[in-house]
Amino acid sequence: MKRILTSCLATLSLLACDSTKPIDPPPPVDELADCTCGRLEEDLLREVPLFGPAVRADGTLAPGQYIVSSTCLKMKTDAQAQARFRELVGPIGEALRSQPGLMAVAFASSERCQAERTLTVWKDEAAMYEFVTGDAHLAAMSAVSEVSRGGSIVTHWSDDERGASWEKAAQQLGADEGPFY
């Protein structure tokens, strides 16, 4: 069964998130030991392809220089943490829908590794930080210990359109020295 995030993020209709859907039981902790943010999971489910104002009709990002950001959140597997995560992503999705300077966004998850990933593309660093310091994102950042089992990380880099990929995101996350949360 797809995780709840799939229904929550599929079209950024986050307010329509179905919080009553059952969640598959989490994998045993020892199965999570080889899960790292620096390597894409084999079962990575790319719920939403890259979309936004800079995404062309063929699904590729328009040529240009961007700030690319990626998050890898290693989720706690209990029902309370999952419910809290759903509470937090709704306002973030609402903020992203109208965020000035957001050029593209994509979401992915791994059920086996109990991980959620984001990939965002920004016009510039100022636009990215405007979102990061907004109410919805600050609320989520302050609650990350409620949903993360540790080892979660976020990073950003300057790149052209070719650098806005899950592969590059994993490489950047794996090379980043933290902080981890």
Number of domains in the chain: 1
Q: Tell me whether residue 42 is in a domain.
A: no
Give pLDDT, residue 155: 96
Q: Tell me whether residue 27 is in a domain.
A: no
Q: Tell me whether residue 137 is in a domain.
A: yes
pLDDT tens digits, one per residue of 10-59: 334 333 344 444 444 555 555 677 799 999 999 998 877 899 999 999 99
**Helix extents (H) in 3-124:** 4-9, 79-97
Q: Tell me whether residue 34 is in a domain.
A: no
Give pLDDT, residue 30: 56
CA distances, 150 to each of 14, 18, 71, 115, 124 (Å) = 25, 26, 13, 11, 29
> Does residue 127 surpass a pLDDT of 50?
yes
CATH number of the domain that residue 121 is part of: 3.30.70.100
Q: Tell me whether residue 73 is in a domain.
A: yes
Neighbours of 1 (CB within 10 A): 9
Long-range contacts of 142-145 (CB under 8 A, 24+ apart): 143/84, 143/88, 144/73, 144/181, 145/181
Q: Tell me whether residue 39 is in a domain.
A: no
Q: Tell me whether residue 33 is in a domain.
A: no
**Helix extents (H) in 10-157:** 79-97, 125-132, 135-142, 144-147
What is the extent of the structural domain holding 146? 4-13+50-175
The model's confidence at residue 109, banded by pLDDT at 50, 70 and 90, is very high
Question: Mean pLDDT throughout 92-98?
Answer: 92
Q: Tell me whether residue 109 is in a domain.
A: yes
The model's confidence at residue 94, banded by pLDDT at 50, 70 and 90, is very high
